[in-house]
Structure 1
């Protein structure tokens, strides 16, 4: 029979290596997703069970099929658990290499075992063999109907699973909003300044909303206190800071494997012309900024409805950032 004696195991080796190429060169292809399903849910268990039981008499076809799926579901998490305790971790490349090596090694072991078997099991799928396996001729009409329903249910389940995997539900939608010190790190913020002295920081935004978003950033200088007795925030002064801006950003995927990279960052330089302890609030709005009341004569919005923006930011309704700054004379 030559190579035909090992066609199933050679196919597993070839398809495992083909999947590696598809992932690196055609990562978004439908073939990669369909083949990846078999690579994870069938190949490991099939190669393993075939290496353990090469003789035809040891297991029948249905048992081999069921064990191939069942063992694959058990083997893959165990490989992932082992990788978790290695320097490589549970990432795409280590998992891909580990499963490929597992499939190839056990497929080669199965080839060797089958070559030395007295009555080796070699899968040949024909209508006659399926009828014999299912005892079709001796089955009642009810058994035949139940068998057909079972086969249709299995095919439907596989098709549904394939659809779910190839059409994954979008992940959580969110926006990264952050401020950094002038050196690009979460440190050395300008928290102590003299009157009129410039302070510099970096404002950053990353869009993970699965759509294009126009962001509006408002910056306010605040003087407020927290009244613990009444559980309320008292705002005494609220002035707009210069440098409000907007930017439209496309959505970018969350990268959990590589190093984090910024999408949008801008330098922000400011100064405060009055001494005291101030809070600078950065408010982020999506698609449309809120309407503000007319500017008061002295520029203090504390007695207007604009103060509700800060109250909502404190309650977490509006995405915001805060920086405490002490300004000395």
Structure 2
């Protein structure tokens, strides 16, 4: 019989390796999703059962099929649990390597066990074998009807699972908005300056909204205090700073593997001409930028409806970032 004696186990080894290649070179393909289901839900249990029970009389075909699915559902979480206590963690590459190694190792053990079996179980499905397994000829009409219903239910379940996997629900829509220090890290922000001295930050935006978005960034210089008596924020000064901008970005997927990479970043340099304790507010708006009232003669918007933008930012209804800056003479 040659290699035909081990066709099922060799196929699982080959398909496991093919899936690895698909994940790296065709990650969005339908073949990857379909093969990934079998890789997780069937292969581990099948090779494990075949290694444990290489002889035909030990289990019939239906029992092997059921145990293959059942043990796969048990084995995969256990492998994940083990990875959780390693430096690699539960991530795509460690899981892929671990399951591939599991499938290959137990396939080789199963091949060795089948070689020495007195009556090896070698799967080869024919219509007559299916009828014999189901005891079709000896069954009553009711039993046959129930068997057909069961088979339809199994096929429907597999089809539904396949549809869910191939048509995943969109994840949460959100935007990353951040500022970094001049070295490109979340540190060394220009929080202490002298009058007229330049400070530099990096403004970053990443679009995870599942659609193209035009972002508008407003930058305000604000002086405010908190009134403990009335529990309200009092804005004393609110001045637009130069450098407002807009940018249109396509949506990018959330990448939980590998190193995080920025989508859009720009340097922003500013200076403050009055001493005191100030706040530089960066406000982010999607698609439409709010209209501002006419500019006051002194440029201070604190007594105009524009102050609501800062109040909404404080309350979290406007996406924003704040940099506290102390300006010395």
For normalisation by structure 2, the TM-score amounts to 0.96
Q: For each residue in 1:156-195, what CA deviation from the matched residue of structure 2 results, as whole angstroms up to 9, or x when unmatched? A: 1111111111222222211111111111121221111222
2:82 aligns with 82
Query: For 1:193 and 1:93, how far apart are their aligned partners in 2?
Result: 46
SS state at 1:57 partner: helix
Alignment of 1:220-259 (within 5 A): 220-259=220-259
1:279 aligns with 279
Deviation of the 1:90 alpha carbon: 2.1
Deviation of the 1:229 alpha carbon: 2.8
Alignment of 1:128 onto 2:128: yes
2:68 aligns with 68
Deviation of the 1:5 alpha carbon: 2.2
Query: For 1:50 and 1:163, how far apart are their aligned partners in 2?
Result: 29
1:8 aligns with 8
Q: How many residues align?
A: 329
Deviation of the 1:258 alpha carbon: 1.1
Q: For each residue in 1:10-43, what CA deviation from the matched residue of structure 2 results, as whole angstroms up to 9, or x when unmatched? A: 2111211222222222222211111111011101
Q: For each residue in 1:22-77, what CA deviation from the matched residue of structure 2 results, as whole angstroms up to 9, or x when unmatched? A: 22222222111111110111011000001101111111111111100010111111
Worse-superposed segment, 208-217 or 186-195? 186-195
Query: For 1:219 and 1:304, how far apart are their aligned partners in 2?
Result: 17
Alignment of 1:28-177 (within 5 A): 28-177=28-177
Worse-superposed segment, 195-204 or 18-27? 18-27
1:313 aligns with 313
2:295 aligns with 295
Q: For each residue in 1:206-241, what CA deviation from the matched residue of structure 2 results, as whole angstroms up to 9, or x when unmatched? A: 111111111100011111111233221111211111
Query: For 1:50 and 1:20, how far apart are their aligned partners in 2?
Result: 23
Structure 2 unaligned spans of 5+: none
SS state at 1:238 partner: strand
Query: For 2:275 and 2:192, how far apart are their aligned partners in 1?
Result: 11
Deviation of the 1:149 alpha carbon: 1.0
Query: For 2:255 and 2:22, how far apart are their aligned partners in 1?
Result: 20
Deviation of the 1:96 alpha carbon: 1.6
Deviation of the 1:107 alpha carbon: 1.1
Deviation of the 1:262 alpha carbon: 1.4
Query: For 2:244 and 2:223, how far apart are their aligned partners in 1?
Result: 19
Q: For each residue in 1:264-306, what CA deviation from the matched residue of structure 2 results, as whole angstroms up to 9, or x when unmatched? A: 1111111111111111111000011001111111111111111
Structure 1 unaligned spans of 5+: none
Query: For 2:222 and 2:210, how far apart are their aligned partners in 1?
Result: 34
1:204 aligns with 204
Query: For 2:25 and 2:324, how far apart are their aligned partners in 1?
Result: 49
SS state at 1:97 partner: helix
Query: For 1:100 and 1:326, how far apart are their aligned partners in 2?
Result: 57
Structure 1: which 4+ aligned runs deviate by more than 6 Å? none
1:328 aligns with 328
Query: For 2:187 and 2:16, how far apart are their aligned partners in 1?
Result: 47
SS state at 2:123 partner: coil
